Amino acid sequence: MSQQVCVNRLKKELLALSKNDDIKDIFIAKPSTSNILEWHFVIYGPPDTPYHGGYYHGMIIFPVEYPYKAPSILMITPSGRFNCNSRICTSMSDFHQDTWSPFWSNCTIILGLISFMTEDEVGFGSIVQSKETRKKLAAQSMAFNIKNPIFIKLFPELVSEYKKNGIYYSSSSSSSSSNISKRNTPTVTTTTLTKTLKDTSKKKEKQNNIIIFIIFIIISSLFYIYFK
C-alpha cells in the first residue's frame, strides 16, 4: 500500500514538472524508464557562479515510504563541489529524516540542492575545490556526461544539442582569464575601490534574487501538487 502511495505521488510530481515552465532553464528531471523510484536530473550551472555553463547530472533514490521518508541524493558529474556517486548530506536528504517534510517534492529537493551547491558548507559528500577547478569542470561536464549510457538514454535532447553546437561553455573564458593574469596588477585608487564595492553589491543583489526566485518556484510547486 505504501509503495502505491509513493508511485502515485511521483507520477503526480512528474506531471507537475512537465507543466512548470519556471524551472525549464534551471534543471530537467526524469524518472528511470525501468524504475520510477530512481530519478535522474541535470542542473544547468547557475549564472554568476563557477558552475555557469556546466551540466550536472545527478540522481535521487526515493524510498518506498516516500513522501513520508527522505530520499538519497547523489551527484554523478564532477563539479568540484560534491563527491561523485556518493550520498550527499543536506537537510532534504536521507541524512536528516528528522527534519524531512512530506510537503517537499523532487522539485523542492533539486532547487534546495542548487542553493546548497552555490554555498561552501562542508558535509558528507561535499568537497571544496577552487573556483578555477570548478570552472574547468563546468567546461568539461558535457564531454563527461555523453560517456554515460544512462545520460544518453534519458536526456537525448541535451546530447543532440551538444553534438550540434559543440562545447557549451565558451572557451574564450579560460583564454580571457589567462590574458588577465599576465597583465600587471592595477594601482588601487578611490575610483577602482568604489567600482569594486558597487560590483560586490550588485553580485549580492543577484544572489538574493536567485534565492527569492527559488522560493517562489517551491511555493508554486507545492500549491500545484496539493491544491490542483
Catalytic residues: 89
The three cell numbers of residue 214 are 527559488
C-alpha 104/C-alpha 43 separation (Å) is: 18
C-alpha 95/C-alpha 72 separation (Å) is: 8
Q: Which amino acid is at 216?
A: F
CB 80 within 8 A of CB 127: yes
Helices 172-182 and 131-145, axial angle in degrees (round to 10): 160
CB 3 within 8 A of CB 65: no
The three cell numbers of residue 106 are 523532487
C-alpha 28/C-alpha 17 separation (Å) is: 9
The count of C-alpha atoms lying within 13 angstroms of the C-alpha of 7, restricted to the half-sphere facing its C-beta, is 7
